[in-house]
């Protein structure tokens, strides 16, 4: 398969090629939730590596956290999903379930085949449910962020 460095670079660069189409207003509106989920995933990755839930073999991001996946597809996909669905929770949840299923099964299998990472004590289905649960949590986080921004903009 394609060498690991090329694959890892593509994982970071390709999603960001779509970022200009998100729009500046939406980008900054949903930047807090994308940053929050990336912080959460970074901490989860440190725990997962320590407990050997998975093993990462990424030459661009060696160590406890694979920032290639977190700063590439996960960050940009979070921005896109919120831009396209925020305000309609059912639509948001259904889109997230579809995206998380694609991520947990065919994409994860592709990344395993490429030698970038491998699930050890965690399987694809558990990862899928973690992602869906996280999607619900971050929707609530964005709701709180939006509510506090609106509250701060209202005259007292």
Q: Which residues of the chain have pLDDT under 50?
A: 1
- Domain residues of the chain, as ranges? 4-146
List all residues 6 or more positions away from 76 whose beta carbon is below 8 Å from its beta carbon.
15, 16, 18, 19
**Which pLDDT belongs to residue 2?**
58
Running DSSP on this structure, what letter comes out for residue 64?
S
Contact 12, 72 (CB under 8 A): yes
Residue-level pLDDT at 36: 97
Tally DSSP H helices, then E strands, for the chain: 7, 2
Mapped onto helix, strand or coil, the DSSP state of residue 53 is coil
pTM of the model: 0.89
Phi, psi of 51 (to 5 degrees): -90, 0
- The 3-state secondary structure of 80-132, one letter per residue: HHHHHHCCCHHHHHHHHHHHHHHHHHHHHHHHHHCCCEEECCCCHHHHHHHHH
pLDDT value of position 13: 94
Distance separating alpha carbons of residues 116 and 45, to the nearest angstrom: 14
Among 67, 80, 71, smallest CA distance to 21 is for: 80
pLDDT value of position 66: 78
Give pLDDT, residue 154. Answer: 60
């Amino acid at each position: 398969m394609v060498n690991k460095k090329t694959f890892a670079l593509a994982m970071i660069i390709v999603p960001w090629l779509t970022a200009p189409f998100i729009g500046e207003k939406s980008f900054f509106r949903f930047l807090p939730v994308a940053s929050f989920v990336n912080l959460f995933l970074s901490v989860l990755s440190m725990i997962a590596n320590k407990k050997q839930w998975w093993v990462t073999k990424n030459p661009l991001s060696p160590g406890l956290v694979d920032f290639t996946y977190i700063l590439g597809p996960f960050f940009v996909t979070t921005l896109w999903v919120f831009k396209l669905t925020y305000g309609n929770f059912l639509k948001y949840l259904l889109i997230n379930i579809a995206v998380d299923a694609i991520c947990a099964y065919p994409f994860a299998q592709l990344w395993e085949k490429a030698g970038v990472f491998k699930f050890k004590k965690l399987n694809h289905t558990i990862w899928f449910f973690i992602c869906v649960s996280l999607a619900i949590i971050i929707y609530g986080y964005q709701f709180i962020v939006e509510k506090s921004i609106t509250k701060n903009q209202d005259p007292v």
